Chains A and B, each alone.
Chain A
Amino acid sequence: EPEVTQTPSHQVTQMGQEVILRCVPISNHLYFYWYRQILGQKVEFLVSFYNNEISEKSEIFDDQFSVERPDGSNFTLKIRSTKLEDSAMYFCASSRGVNWGNEKLFFGSGTQLSVL
């Protein structure tokens, strides 16, 4: 079965540094998502992306965050100046559509971000 791949699996960074988390969604999917899960807490929605633009974002997704699909295959999440509270597992997901039958989400295995 096709899968969503995320790199790196672990990322350690210093507070204030920029990080880019990378995702390769399934090739015929059109909708892309980033979620995060702080250790011991529930999964939280960050952003959804369709047709090369953000379609929805949560309150968490402030000006420090940005997403990009630079080359038609990669889908990246950039955090400009990391804070300690950005430490979390970041999941990328994609779906073929948002209509009934196409909406199944496929998740990557996550990137564990640790901000020191």
Chain B
Amino acid sequence: KNEVEQSPQNLTAQEGEFITINCSYSVGISALHWLQQHPGGGIVSLFMLSSGKKKHGRLIATINIQEKHSSLHITASHPRDSAVYICAVRSNTGNQFYFGTGTSLTVIP
């Protein structure tokens, strides 16, 4: 049973393209996190959302609590955006986290 589903699993884009990664979840949550995992394995937190929309540079994250869905958008994609993007949710019934399997993004120059 996957509490968090991401799509697509793999994504290849040309530099400059607009990218969307989707995340759906089935549990009640208190927050949703978008994480970036670099090829070396390190993980960086991009966004933490409990409602609405957040923007940081070329990255935009949205969440629809009613539909249990979140999207991560990258505008004007660049090869340095190539990484695995992971959606994770914190359960609202305790301090437990559930992770998606990640979306592997490759941006080609």
Can you list 20 A-B pairs, Cβ within 8 angstroms, ordered by A?
A37-B41, A42-B86, A42-B99, A42-B102, A43-B37, A43-B102, A45-B96, A50-B95, A98-B30, A100-B50, A103-B90, A104-B48, A105-B45, A107-B42, A107-B43, A107-B44, A109-B41, A109-B42, A110-B41, A110-B43
Least CB distance, A89 to chain B, in whole angstroms: 6
Residue from A31, A42, A98, A109 whose CB has the most chain B CB atoms within 10 Å? A42
A104 surroundings in chain B (CB, below 8 A): 45, 48
A98 to B29, CA, bound (A): 12
Query: Is A48 at the interface (CB under 8 A from chain B)?
Result: yes
By the criterion CB–CB under 8 Å, are A100 and B42 in contact?
no
Query: Is A18 at the interface (CB under 8 A from chain B)?
Result: no
A44 surroundings in chain B (CB, below 8 A): 99
A107 surroundings in chain B (CB, below 8 A): 35, 42-45
Among B67-108, those with CB < 8 Å from A are 86, 88, 90, 94-102
Chain A residues near B (Cβ < 8 Å): 31, 33, 35, 37, 41-45, 48, 50, 55-56, 58, 89, 91, 93, 98, 100, 103-107, 109-110, 112
* B95: contacting residue among A43, A55, A100, CB under 8 A: A55
By the criterion CB–CB under 8 Å, are B99 and A56 in contact?
no
- Count of inter-chain pairs, beta carbons less than 8 A: 62
A50 surroundings in chain B (CB, below 8 A): 95
Least CB distance, B25 to chain A, in whole angstroms: 14
A100 to B89, CA, bound (A): 13
Residue of A nearest to B93 (CB): A56
Residue of B nearest to A46 (CB): B97
A106 to B45, CA, bound (A): 7
A106 to B46, CA, bound (A): 10
A112 surroundings in chain B (CB, below 8 A): 41
Residue from B48, B50, B86, B101 whose CB has the most chain A CB atoms within 10 Å? B48
